[in-house]
Structure 1
Amino acid sequence: MEETISLQEFFQTLRKRMLLIFSITLLVTTLSGVISFYLITPIYESSTQLLINQEDTNTNQMPDLDIQTNLQLINTYSIIIKSPAILDLVIKELALENMTTQSLNKKINVNSEGDSQVVTITVQDADQYIARDIANSTADIFQREITDLMNINNVGILAKATASEKQEPVKPQPILNIAISMVIGFLLSIGLAFLLEYLDNTLTSEQDIEKLLSLPVIGSISSMEIKEQKKIARLNKMQ
């Protein structure tokens, strides 16, 4: 037999478990704030931009074909930028002895804006100045080495990566984390409140008895405070 809950019972449960809901929500939100502000290492981001120019080897080439060739060239360059041929030189130039090619590869992201010929090299690191140096060094070394690798010279640097003391980290985002944690904590506490209510078989009212036995209540005994009981007992003794 399926059980349903009315809107009134819903709010009664929330009111009954209000302390539990508030406590869990506050606990989850506080933990999220502490972790976001004090335990997670801030990560900074720095970017540099390259301009890829397709050499004009065929003046009669169709414009659409020219665009397609540029896109293929950019995809090829994106792979070369993150290859050991470039990253090993970056590690050597910046003296990053504690960093492997694989770990450096994970810090670098290469992408292009739509069908443009601009390639963006983005680097993330716990130190904003190291992120800046890696981005700039990667761009410089790629521009220098691509001439020997592909026997062409069509890469220009549009913008150098920069860094400053006032630079904000890209992650974590404490305010966003706290807001999300508050919502999650609230939903979890509500779920726990209804689970406890479902598991609670205590009869606390006439309605509970009617629901359990499917019979109407024809009488009830009023509760009496302890002070009233003592007062009645003293009156009985006096008589």
Structure 2
Amino acid sequence: MQNSQTVISIFDILKIIKKNIWIILAIVIVTFVAVFTITNFILTPQYKATNQILVVQNTNKADSNVQNSEVQANLQMVNTYSAMIKSPLVLDKVSEKLRGQYSTNELSKKIVTSNDQNSQVLNIQVQDESQAMAAKIANETASAFKENLPVIMKDKSVTVMSQAKVLKNAHPVFPNKTMFYFLSLVAGLVLSGLFCFLREILDTTVKTEDQIMEKLGLPVLGTISKIPDNSVKNRPKYEAMNKTHTEAKPVYEK
């Protein structure tokens, strides 16, 4: 019984899809075109630039135990360094070097710091509408942090591991067009599917004999099939009548 019900339900689903195939295609196409337009003509592309810095402790001690403890201390200070990079002490100088093009708050929103697990290397990532500006902000931030950290922590120094560079033919990190297009197709299929199934569920008209028996509980005694107009017109009887009517000439009394 369960298998037959499953087959019937799948058959009904396929029947609904076949019946509304043009509506489904139309909704999918409209959704894709809308997302394509928004992605290419409305959203502003964002580019990313990244550089890497390393914070180390100035020491001449060769004791391995001391060096290991310093490494562990630096790892625990990574969050502190990240907060310092986005602090007004550093970003105010970056804003000055950019001639006030971005405020301290705007720079803070553009900068993201991260590091790999158990790594002392800090990544400074910047997103901007211009790749050149993103690289400039990242490099100026690393430079300002390098200048200010020894003032606050005299036993620390910063080494710039790699600078952000402007790449040729760079692709924006936002919007991700491939992902947006894929999601638009999925959204179009989901929306069209919901529309078609709701349309079928809300349709209370009776279309088959089984629906009459199911809803009214009455047996079907007989059915009257629909007679197409073409079949009626093509019958010989009606053709003869039409021919006679056409050839008849009006008679006028004198």
Structure 1 length-normalised TM: 0.89
Aligned partner letter, 2:14:
F
Equivalent position of 1:83 in the other structure: 87
Equivalent position to 1:116, from 115, 119, 124: 119
Equivalent position to 2:24, from 21, 24, 48: 21
Equivalent position to 1:204, from 207, 231, 249: 207
Paired residues for 1:203-222 under 5 Å: 203-222=206-225
Aligned partner letter, 1:108:
I
Equivalent position of 1:68 in the other structure: 72
1:146 to 2:149 alignment: yes
Question: Does the residue aligned with 2:124 lie in a helix, a strand or coil?
Answer: strand
1:132 to 2:135 alignment: yes
The structure-2 alpha-carbon separation of the partners of 1:75 and 1:57, relative to structure 1 and needing over 3 Å to count, comes to farther
Equivalent position of 2:249 in the other structure: none
How far residue 235 of structure 1 moved from its aligned partner, in angstroms, is 6.8
Equivalent position of 1:92 in the other structure: 96
How far residue 165 of structure 1 moved from its aligned partner, in angstroms, is 4.1
8 Å contact kept, 2:51–2:164 = yes
How far residue 35 of structure 1 moved from its aligned partner, in angstroms, is 1.2
Paired residues for 1:166-205 under 5 Å: 166-205=169-208
How far residue 46 of structure 1 moved from its aligned partner, in angstroms, is 0.3
Aligned partner letter, 1:135:
A
Deviations 1:78-117 (A, max 9, x none): 11000000001000011133x2211110100111111111
Two-structure CA RMSD over aligned residues (Å): 2.4
C-alpha distance in structure 2 between counterparts of 1:42 and 1:212, whole Å:
57
How far residue 33 of structure 1 moved from its aligned partner, in angstroms, is 1.4
1:103 to 2:144 alignment: no
Equivalent position to 1:52, from 48, 51, 55: 55
Q: Which has the larger radius of gyration?
A: 2
Number of equivalent positions: 235
8 Å contact kept, 1:111–1:119 = yes
Aligned partner letter, 2:144:
I
Equivalent position to 2:10, from 7, 14, 38: 7
8 Å contact kept, 1:146–1:152 = no
Equivalent position to 1:234, from 230, 235, 238: 238
C-alpha distance in structure 1 between counterparts of 2:157 and 2:84, whole Å:
14
Question: Does the residue aligned with 1:223 lie in a helix, a strand or coil?
Answer: coil
Question: Does the residue aligned with 2:77 lie in a helix, a strand or coil?
Answer: helix
C-alpha distance in structure 2 between counterparts of 1:37 and 1:228, whole Å:
55
The structure-2 alpha-carbon separation of the partners of 1:117 and 1:229, relative to structure 1 and needing over 3 Å to count, comes to same
Aligned partner letter, 2:50:
S
How far residue 76 of structure 1 moved from its aligned partner, in angstroms, is 1.3
Aligned partner letter, 1:200:
D
Question: Does the residue aligned with 1:189 lie in a helix, a strand or coil?
Answer: helix
8 Å contact kept, 2:57–2:155 = no
How far residue 124 of structure 1 moved from its aligned partner, in angstroms, is 0.4
Deviations 1:53-83 (A, max 9, x none): 1333874756664333111222211110000
Equivalent position of 1:157 in the other structure: 160
Question: Does the residue aligned with 1:6 lie in a helix, a strand or coil?
Answer: helix
Aligned partner letter, 1:220:
T
How far residue 215 of structure 1 moved from its aligned partner, in angstroms, is 2.5
Equivalent position to 1:36, from 36, 39, 61: 39
Question: Does the residue aligned with 1:38 lie in a helix, a strand or coil?
Answer: helix
Structure 1 unaligned spans of 5+: none
